[in-house]
């Protein structure tokens, strides 16, 4: 069943609304509400920054111990897999230590811990991709796409 769109309901006469909006009490209340919004936004930003610092400090407390194994070059998954269960245990321990942690914060913490593990692995294995290095792009490597129309097909 379709719903009909009803016209807006005017609860007050427009001249009365304009008159009240010019009163000092209304303007003062409007200013107080704006100040309260600004204070709440400031507190919210401060709380988020403090929580982000707590998560960063908790992640920096994790120091992965890497035991080098003979792996072929490029086997990133085989290098990382033995340390993932310990990484999850550390994450659970840190979550308990931090207290009330949301899903988003748990995801951020997992990302920070994974970055620490990847950094440690990149220090042990020279072929392991470093989390701080950018992946080489086509322009950076100097490779250019070839035009198949210019090839010598004979």
Q: Report whether pLDDT(34) > 60.
A: yes
Q: What is the pLDDT of residues 95-143, one digit of tens each?
A: 999 889 899 999 999 999 999 999 999 988 888 888 877 655 545 556 6
Q: Report whether pLDDT(41) > 90.
A: yes
If one counts the domains in the chain, the total is 1
Element holding 48 (H helix, E strand): helix 24-60
Residue 117 lies in a domain: yes
Q: Which domain holds residue 27?
A: 14-129
Distance in angstroms (rounded) separating the CA atoms of residues 13 and 32: 25
Are 72 and 128 in contact by the 8 Å Cβ rule? The answer is no
The pLDDT-based confidence of 1 (bands split at 50, 70, 90) is: low
Residue 102 lies in a domain: yes
Residue 144 lies in a domain: no
Residue 125 lies in a domain: yes
């Amino acid at each position: 069943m379709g719903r009909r769109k009803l016209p807006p309901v005017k609860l007050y006469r427009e001249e009365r609304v304009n008159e009240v909006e010019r009163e000092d009490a209304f303007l003062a209340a409007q200013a107080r509400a704006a100040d309260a919004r600004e204070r709440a936004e400031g507190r919210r930003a401060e709380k988020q920054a403090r929580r982000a610092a707590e998560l960063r400090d908790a992640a920096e407390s994790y120091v992965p111990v890497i035991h080098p194994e003979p792996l072929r070059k490029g086997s990133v998954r085989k290098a990382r897999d033995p340390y993932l269960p310990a990484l999850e245990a550390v994450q659970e321990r840190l979550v308990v230590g931090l207290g009330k942690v949301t899903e988003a914060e748990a995801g951020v913490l997992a990302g920070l811990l994974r970055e620490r593990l990847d950094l440690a692995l990149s220090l042990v294995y020279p072929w392991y991709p470093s989390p701080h290095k950018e992946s080489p792009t086509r322009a950076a490597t100097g490779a250019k796409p070839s035009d198949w129309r210019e090839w010598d097909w004979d």
